[in-house]
Amino acid sequence: FKYEFNHPDTALNFIRQGLGIALLPELTLKATTGKLCSVALEPTFYRQISLLAKEPPVEGSPLFLLQKCMETLTDEGLL
């Protein structure tokens, strides 16, 4: 059987009941309590994330500055 969940807690509850295994983000594992074990995968997997805002960022706002930093790092091949 294969199940897909939208929330990591649902997958963790299945695992706690002995009903399967799951691939989860490392941050999810750091917040986990109880008797669960994890195995790091090699090679390491990465995922893209996005920053969302209601409107285009106003010049000088933290979001605007972050966007400019990301553009600079991308232009310089660092991202």
pLDDT per position in the chain (79 positions), as tens?
Answer: 788 899 988 999 999 899 989 988 888 887 777 788 888 888 888 888 877 777 777 888 888 888 899 899 999 988 7
Q: How far is CA 43 from CA 7, 46, 68, in A?
A: 24, 10, 31
pLDDT of residue 74: 92
Cα–Cα distance, 3 to 11 (Å, whole number): 9
Residue 13: how many CB atoms within 10 A of its CB? 12
Cβ(3)–Cβ(20) below 8 Å = yes
pLDDT of residue 60: 85
Cα–Cα distance, 23 to 42 (Å, whole number): 13
Residue found under tokens 């994330």: 49
- The predicted model scores a pTM of 0.55
